[in-house]
C-alpha cells in the first residue's frame, strides 16, 4: 500500500493526472515515491505508446497527426513541469554568470530570450524524432517509446539523491532527506526485470534497451559532474532540465536505432 501511495504522490507532483487524495508526505512515503519514479515513467511511456498505436491503427489520420498527438501528450500529461525547469535553467546557463548569479536567475519568474529559444529547439527537435520514428514504426518501437520516460525518471532519481542540493530548502531537499543508502537499489532490479521480460517476448529488442541503459549511465555521469560545476548543486529547475534533456536524447537514440539497426 505504501508503494501505491508513493506512486500516487509522484502522479500528483509530476503529472497533470488528477489524484483527488490527501496523501501522507512523511519520510517513509517519500522514499517509496523515489523508488517508484521509474514506474511513474512507465505509466507515462505507456500512454505515449498507446496514443501512437491508437492513432495509427484506429483512426484514419496521417503519421504526421499521430506524431503530433504523441508530442502533445508529453506536454499535457506532465503539465509542462519539466519544461519550465528547462527554460529557467537555459536562461541561467546561457547568462555565463557565476554560480550564485545563475541560481538567482533561475528564481526570476520572468523568462528570457535564451529560455524561449531553448524551448523551441527542444520541442521542435523532439517532434522531428517522434515523426520520423512514426514513419518507420514496428512492434518494438512501442516498447522503446514506453521505456523513454522509464529511463528518464530513473536518471532523475539517481541525480536527485547523488548530487548535492544547491539550496537547503525546496522539493529536492525534501526528497533527499527522505532517502537512505538503499533507496536506489531497486533501480537495478527494475532494469534486470525489464531485460528478462523483453528476452522472453521480444529478444531481438534487447540491443535497444542496452543502448538506452548505456545512454542513461552516460547522462548520469555527465550531469553529476556538470551540475556541480555549472550551478554548484541540484535545484528543482536543474532536475527538470535534466529530465527533458535525457528524454530528448533517448528519443534521438530510438530515432538512430530505426535508421541504422531496426531499418
SS (H, E, C) 144-160: HHHHHHHHHHHHHHHHH
Q: Look-up: residue for cell 491508437?
A: 54
Encode pLDDT of 164-178 as tens digits: 888 776 666 677 777
pLDDT of residue 125: 98
- The verdict on residue 11 lying in a domain is no
- The verdict on residue 21 lying in a domain is no
234 beta partners: 165
**What dihedral angle (degrees, nearest 10) is formed by the CA atoms of 143, 8, 234, 216?**
-10
pLDDT of residue 206: 79
Task: List the domain range (segments joined by +) for residue 174.
Answer: 34-260
- The verdict on residue 198 lying in a domain is yes
Q: Could you tell me if 146 and 197 are in contact, meaning their C-beta atoms sit under 8 angstroms apart?
A: no
Q: Give percent above pLDDT 70 in the chain.
A: 97
Model pTM greater than 0.75? yes
- The verdict on residue 26 lying in a domain is no
The Cα–Cα gap between 15 and 101 comes to 30
Q: Give the dihedral sign, CA 154/159/162/165.
A: negative
The Cα–Cα gap between 166 and 168 comes to 7
pLDDT of residue 171: 64
Cα 117 to chain center, whole Å? 21
The Cα–Cα gap between 257 and 241 comes to 24
pLDDT of residue 24: 83
Give the chain's domain count.
Answer: 1
Is residue 136 packed enough to be buried (19+ CB in 10 Å), middle (13-18) or exposed (0-12)? middle
Encode pLDDT of 92-139 as tens digits: 999 888 888 998 998 888 888 999 999 999 999 999 999 999 999 999
pLDDT of residue 177: 75
Run of H or E including 24: none
- The verdict on residue 206 lying in a domain is yes
pLDDT of residue 27: 84
Q: Give percent above pLDDT 90 in the chain.
A: 64
pLDDT of residue 111: 86
- The verdict on residue 29 lying in a domain is no
Distances (CA, A) of 115 to 32, 86, 234, 255: 33, 8, 19, 26
pLDDT of residue 91: 93
Query: Residues in the chain with pLDDT < 70?
Result: 169-173, 204, 263
Q: Could you tell me if 198 and 143 are in contact, meaning their C-beta atoms sit under 8 angstroms apart?
A: yes
Amino acid at each position: 500500500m505504501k508503494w501505491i501511495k508513493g506512486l500516487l504522490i509522484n502522479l500528483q507532483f509530476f503529472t497533470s493526472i488528477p489524484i483527488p487524495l490527501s496523501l501522507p508526505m512523511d519520510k517513509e512515503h517519500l522514499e517509496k515515491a523515489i523508488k517508484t519514479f521509474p514506474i511513474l515513467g512507465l505509466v507515462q511511456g505507456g500512454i505515449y505508446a498507446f496514443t501512437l498505436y491508437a492513432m495509427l491503427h484506429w483512426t484514419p489520420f496521417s503519421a504526421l497527426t499521430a506524431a503530433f498527438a504523441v508530442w502533445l501528450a508529453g506536454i499535457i500529461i506532465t503539465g509542462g513541469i519539466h519544461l519550465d525547469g528547462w527554460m529557467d535553467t537555459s536562461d541561467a546557463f546561457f547568462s555565463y554568470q557565476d554560480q550564485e548569479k545563475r541560481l538567482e536567475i533561475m528564481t526570476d519568474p520572468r523568462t528570457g530570450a535564451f529560455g524561449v529559444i531553448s524551448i523551441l529547439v527542444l520541442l521542435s527537435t523532439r517532434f522531428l524524432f517522434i515523426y520520423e520514428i512514426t514513419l518507420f514504426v514496428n512492434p518494438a518501437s512501442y516498447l522503446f517509446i514506453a521505456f523513454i520516460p522509464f529511463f528518464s525518471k530513473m536518471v532523475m532519481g539517481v541525480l536527485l539523491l547523488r548530487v548535492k542540493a544547491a539550496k537547503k530548502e525546496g522539493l529536492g531537499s525534501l526528497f533527499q532527506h527522505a532517502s537512505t543508502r538503499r533507496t536506489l537499489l531497486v533501480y537495478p532490479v527494475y532494469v534486470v526485470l525489464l531485460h528478462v521480460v523483453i528476452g522472453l517476448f521480444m529478444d531481438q529488442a534487447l540491443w535497444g534497451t542496452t543502448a538506452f541503459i548505456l545512454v542513461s549511465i552516460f547522462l548520469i555521469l555527465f550531469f553529476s559532474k556538470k551540475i556541480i560545476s555549472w550551478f554548484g548543486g541540484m535545484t528543482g529547475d536543474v532536475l527538470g532540465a535534466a529530465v527533458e534533456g535525457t528524454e530528448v536524447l533517448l528519443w534521438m537514440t530510438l530515432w538512430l536505432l530505426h535508421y541504422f539497426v531496426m531499418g
